[in-house]
């Protein structure tokens, strides 16, 4: 298996959509579920490009909808890998919106998605390339990804507290 570390820029994915009538809720704003679907697609493309494999979504961290996105707006979804583990990779997703003329430009949402790469034939999890962080921001997201992973695996009952020393240390630091 090719475990060559790959730069974040190699799989950066940007997707745009215009909000059409079929995408909205009864008050003419984008329906949350439709936004999550697009986020999942864009993030999945990003993860797939990094892994050079088909990927499946295994978790989505909390997504909140703080700013309504009206009919006719154009959203841009930007996705970057943050860190890869053995068979999984975390992707950071940001959603921006503006009107078609570029007015009322704003950042609407962000979320972390985790994908698992699978073999074409068996559909079993397979190893993924490491992520090579280069910028200060990429390093920050890379380092913090370990804490987010430990929290997810603890919540899923896949890790015991004693198997998450970095997360325990982080909590200890916050409280002292």
Contact set with ligand COA (CB under 6 A): 56-59, 85-88, 114, 116, 125, 152-153, 156, 158
Q: Which is nearer to ligand COA, 13 or 87 (CB)?
A: 87
CB of residue 151 to ligand COA, shortest distance in Å: 9
Name which of 130, 124, 44 is nearest 84 in CA terms. Answer: 130
CB of 111 to ligand COA, least distance (A): 14
Closer to ligand COA at the Cβ: 73 or 90? 90
Cβ proximity to ligand COA, 19 vs 116, nearer residue: 116
Q: Is the Cβ of residue 54 or residue 65 nearer to ligand COA in the bound state?
A: 54
Q: If you search the block for the tokens 């154009």, which residue do you land on?
A: 74
Q: Which of residues 69 and 79 has its CB atom nearest to ligand COA in the complex? A: 79
Q: How far is the CB of 149 from ligand COA (least distance, A)?
A: 7
Return d(Cα 148, Cα 175) in angstroms, integer.
18
Shortest Å distance, C-beta 109 to ligand COA: 19
Checking DSSP bridges between strand 88-98 and strand 74-84, what pairing results, if any? antiparallel
Q: Report in angstroms how near the CB of residue 82 gets to ligand COA at its nearest.
A: 13
**2: closest CA among 139, 113, 117?**
117
Q: Rounded to whole angstroms, what are the CA distances from 31 to 24, 26, 70?
A: 5, 9, 10
Q: How distant, in Å, are the alpha carbons of 11, 90, 161 from that of 83?
A: 12, 6, 21
């Amino acid at each position: 298996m090719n475990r060559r570390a790959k730069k974040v820029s190699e799989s950066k994915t940007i997707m745009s959509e215009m909000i059409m009538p079929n995408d909205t809720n009864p008050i003419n704003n984008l329906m949350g579920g439709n936004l999550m679907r697009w986020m999942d697609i864009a993030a999945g493309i990003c993860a797939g490009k990094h892994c050079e494999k088909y990927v499946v979504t295994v978790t989505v961290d909390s997504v909140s909808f703080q700013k309504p996105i009206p009919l006719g707006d154009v959203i841009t979804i930007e996705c970057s890998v943050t860190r890869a583990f053995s068979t999984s990779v975390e992707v950071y997703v940001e959603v921006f919106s503006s009107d078609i003329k570029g007015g009322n430009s704003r950042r609407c949402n962000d979320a972390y998605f985790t994908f698992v790469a699978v073999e074409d034939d068996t559909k079993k999890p397979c190893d993924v390339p490491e992520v090579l962080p280069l910028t200060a921001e990429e390093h920050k997201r890379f380092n913090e990804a370990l804490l987010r992973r430990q929290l997810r695996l603890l919540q899923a009952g896949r890790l015991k507290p004693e198997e998450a020393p970095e997360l325990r240390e982080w909590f200890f630091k916050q409280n002292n």
